[in-house]
Amino acid sequence: MPSPAPSWHDARAALPACWQAAIGDEFDAPYMIELAAFLAAERAAGRTIYPPAPLTFAALAHTPLAEVRAVILGQDPYHRPGQAMGLAFSVPRGVRPPPSLRNILKEMQADIGTPPPGHGCLTAWTERGVLLLNASLTVEEGRAGSHARLGWHRFTDRILAAVNARPEPAAFVLWGNDARQKAPMLDAARHLVHVSGHPSPLAAHRGFFGSRPFSKVNAFLAAAGRGAIDWRLD
């Protein structure tokens, strides 16, 4: 008998129930079925895909829709060994923070006085209602942006729309031109839509440093009655 076609059945079933209810049908869309088959074929051909398959939807697993207070949008996963963990900008403990993450932590200290930790793992933020979402959820090793046109943007737009549609105010943090393109789909009358330069070394001095995203997010959430986020990383 032929092997069954690759699907997202197990990945969808593992998501928090609130995400399944909000976006579960998207997994059945033809483009997502094609994407599952593509990723399976790439891995079967010996290509390394990041993050590891079980972490593809880690951002949703860590931060249920019902608990989202802020969204930080990245472009795609890190494409070097050991870095990608399914959370935008985050790396596992013991892995040196990449330059963009180091700049994020520098801005955090300048903005709210929180000193950078001795690591680059941002999991604590996800547990406090910060959705660390990449616009593309996979990437081929050594090829930044390699999966950007495979349909992931349509899927993650659905995630952003689900947060946007909730009655509770949320803060959307959009760094750089790619993230900025998502602003028109967000309701800035109800939510905070914070747009600034990207934290990468080539762009950080052109609008990221001094943008004060952490204090602005907290001021908005506090005023909306949703409570400030504890940005400390122990």
Report pLDDT digits (tens) over 90-117.
999 999 999 999 999 999 999 999 999 9
Does residue 66 form part of some domain? yes
Please list the residues that pair with 175 across neighbouring strands. 196
Taking the whole predicted model, whether its pTM rises above 0.85 is answered as yes
Q: Residue 234: exposed, middle, or buried by beta-carbon count in 10 A (0-12, 13-18, 19+)?
A: exposed
| Per-chain mean pLDDT for the chain | 95
The rounded distance, in Å, linking the Cα atoms of 132 and 127 is 11
pLDDT at res. 5: 61
Count of structural domains, the chain: 1
The rounded distance, in Å, linking the Cα atoms of 111 and 118 is 18
Does residue 138 form part of some domain? yes
The rounded distance, in Å, linking the Cα atoms of 2 and 229 is 50
Does residue 108 form part of some domain? yes
pLDDT at res. 7: 81
Report pLDDT digits (tens) over 125-165.
999 999 999 999 999 999 999 999 999 999 999 999 999 99
Domain range for 29 is 8-224
Q: Yes or no: say if 6 and 36 are a contact pair by the CB < 8 Å rule.
A: yes
Question: At CA 74, angle to CA 228 and CA 48, rounded to 5?
Answer: 135
Q: Are β-strands 49-50 and 139-140 bridged in parallel, bridged antiparallel, or unpaired? A: antiparallel
Backbone angles phi, psi at 195, to 5 degrees: -120, 135
Catalytic residues: 76
Report pLDDT digits (tens) over 23-65.
999 999 999 999 999 999 999 999 999 999 999 999 999 999 9
pLDDT at res. 2: 43
Does residue 230 form part of some domain? no
Does residue 231 form part of some domain? no
Does residue 172 form part of some domain? yes
Does residue 234 form part of some domain? no
The answer, yes or no, to whether the previous bond of 64 is cis (omega within 30 of 0) is no
Q: Yes or no: say if 223 and 170 are a contact pair by the CB < 8 Å rule.
A: no
CATH of the domain at 108: 3.40.470.10
Kindly provide the b/e burial profile for residues 24-52, where b requires at least 16 CB atoms within 10 angstroms of the residue's own CB.
eebbeeeebbebbebbbebeeeeeebbbe
Does residue 1 form part of some domain? no
pLDDT at res. 1: 41
